[in-house]
Amino acid sequence: MAESVVRPISALAQELAEGKTTSRKLIEAALARIADAGGEGGRAFIKVHAQAALLAAEASDRLRKDGVVPSPLAGLPVSIKDLFDIAGEVTTAGSKILRDAAPADADAVAVARLRSAGAVVIGRSNMTEFAFSGVGLNPHYGTPANPYDRRARRIPGGSSSGAAVSVADGMAAFALGTDTGGSARIPAALCGIAGFKPTQSRIPRDGTFPLSTTLDSIGPLAPTVACCVTVFQVLAGERPHALTPPEFPGLRLGVPKNTMLEDLDAEVTRAFEATLQRFSRRGAKILEIEVPEFDEVAKANSSGGISPPEAYAVHRGWIDREREFDPRVRERILKGGSILAADYIELLRIRARLMRSFTRANYDIDVLVMPTVPRIAPPIDDLERDPEIFRRVNALMLRNTNPINFLDGCALSLPIHVPRDARVGLMVVGFAGDDERVLSAGLALEAATAYQGPILVG
């Protein structure tokens, strides 16, 4: 079968504008990939909206002929993580427990904004049950395999597992995901695409099933940083507009000397160091700096963290339905039931203090850079078979990404691996409210990497 690169939103939008393709053709191609018996569509999606998507595509094509093109996303297929309400459907959050819940009365705000922009919802993407893991396993609906080394069937990363695979495999032009401790950035990094976690307040969470109301954020997963910019602006309720990448000479990139660079796989080390050298040759200043807030976050979370007690508050009404739970998820939720209210309140107080101290005033840099995930994706079988391996890998998956949510920063993951090698992500981190700065820097950094986009087979 032929190989090609997954096309970015700008290329698809241009082809639509020039009449070289139609929304109907794009949706048909995406549906064919989902239905391919040899592919991952059956595991990447919990529900496929084939008929509704085709009708929406035809409507988009008619509007385009009349000169109505609401945004660059018009006519493009988007996968929606199963945490988001879609009017008339049950939001199951990757679980069997909610399958008999009442259908949603309305679309989640994020879904409604994508529809208003003309995007075509192609289906609900699979995910870790209740979004509580950075690995991506789901025993109820299957676990979609990472696009890298399909024979070994490696983890996709979580919790937005189906979202990342849907984009990397050409089943959607982009995906709507969430990020509580890395759930958009981790699968983006492991699957070789881009993913963005904004400052929490930038995108409304109305109509989104919660994991941790304190830490939950909504963000896009897409082929490139530029794609993430376009989708983020729509989700944030803004008209799409160009961001200006900074010039490399004088760009100050901070590399934290904390645990972020410890215990890296050799592939991650090689890709990260080669990328920093490339940036340096272009004139960027690479500055090793201490970020004490990262160490303090790790210390604060050692007693359990914010997510478990907040998740327990959501799920305690059905926590006794043990046989219907993924045991790995239930174990993490149950830990939240033993955390004292006083300890939880103290943790929120510590978070508020660290958020105040984690500001641009303390660091003479433009952005922080580090590996998104310290390891490449391991095989699914190992983690399904051994709970202890799962716990260890899950902790490593979340190690670098989780502190950013705790500090309410914003962060972008962009691919830096050599094509056809194991997928490796570079995390570009900014402070609260620095979303445009991070995305602009990401555009410049992405252009300087050797990566050309995810390879699509078929």
Between CA 369 and CA 93 the distance in angstroms is: 32
Domain region containing 26: 3-252+376-457
pLDDT attached to residue 450: 67
Digit-coded pLDDT (tens) for 242-300 = 999 999 999 999 999 989 999 999 999 999 999 999 999 999 999 999 999 999 999 99
Average pLDDT over residues 99-124: 98
Average pLDDT along the chain: 96
pLDDT tens, position by position, 339-385: 999 999 999 999 999 999 999 878 999 999 999 999 999 999 999 99
Q: Which pLDDT tens digit goes with each residue over 137-154?
A: 999 999 999 999 999 999
Residue 131 lies in a domain: yes
| CATH number for the domain that contains residue 382 | 3.90.1300.10
Task: Give a yes or no: residue 243 inside a domain.
Answer: yes
CA distance linking residue 301 with residue 337, whole number of Å: 16
pLDDT of residue 73: 98
Q: Is the pLDDT of residue 89 over 90?
A: yes
Looking at the domain assignment, is residue 170 inside a domain?
yes
In terms of Cα–Cα distance, which of 183, 221, 182, 179 is closest to 202?
179
282 domain-assigned = no
The percentage of residues in the chain with a pLDDT greater than 70, rounded to a whole number, is 97
Which residues, including other chains, have CB under 8 Å from residue 72's CB and lie 6 or more apart?
9, 10, 13, 230, 240
C-alpha pair distances (Å), 416 with each of 160, 163, 193, 266, 279: 20, 20, 10, 14, 12
Q: Is the pLDDT score of 3 beyond 80? A: no
Beta carbons of 157 and 186 less than 8 angstroms apart: yes
Number of domains in the chain: 1
Distance (Å, whole) CA 43 – CA 138: 9
Q: Is residue 108 part of a domain?
A: yes
Is residue 416 in some structural domain?
yes
Residue 322 lies in a domain: no
By CB atoms closer than 10 A (0-12, 13-18, 19+), residue 277 is: exposed
Whether 289 maps to a domain, the answer reads no
Catalytic residue annotation: 81, 159, 183
Averaged pLDDT for residues 82-97: 98
